Amino acid sequence: YEKTGISNLINSEEGVLFLEVAALADDGTNRYISISDDTTSNYIYFRFLSTSNRVLSRTVVGGVTINTLQITITDTTAYNKYAIKWKSGDYAFWINGVEVGTDTNSTIFGADVLNQIKFDFPVGSGTFPSKVKQLQVFKTALTDSELATLTT
């Protein structure tokens, strides 16, 4: 599934991707939810890794990987709340009320670059075999306090 042509709903220069999801199985497959420009040059994604109980957030701007933030969690098949924040000098990955990864890289997307949400890798055509309770995109980068509350 994908929704394209929504650059007016996504702020490329700062924002938050919030998810409350659970994998259907911890079976060694990669699963993605991405915000992108439909290329492998500009995207932010959340991913259940093929490694058991491992999740990852990645940001790529202009074909350059800006950050990869990953962590092992207790159970990917249980519902967990994830937030990926992007803003110049302030990238963060939150899981269940805890900031688990940060990056201070100042590189960010230009205005109106990100224009689609996809339940797959940015240029893939697969699916996201998981359960999704919530998916939200915020047009501003939330504060740490707001992210802690949102993901708790």
Span 3-53, pLDDT tens digits: 777 778 899 999 999 999 999 999 999 999 999 999 999 999 999 999 999
User: Residue 2's beta-bridge partner residues?
Assistant: 118
Beta carbons within 8 Å of 85's beta carbon, 6+ residues apart = 15, 16, 91, 92, 93, 94, 141, 142, 147
Helix boundaries (H) for 23-88: none
The average confidence (pLDDT) of the chain is: 94
The DSSP code for 96 is T
pLDDT tens-digit profile of 90-110? 999 999 999 999 999 999 999
| Token pair recorded at residue 24 | 């259907």
Among 152, 12, 147, smallest CA distance to 83 is for 147
Among 140, 73, 68, 139, smallest CA distance to 103 is for 68
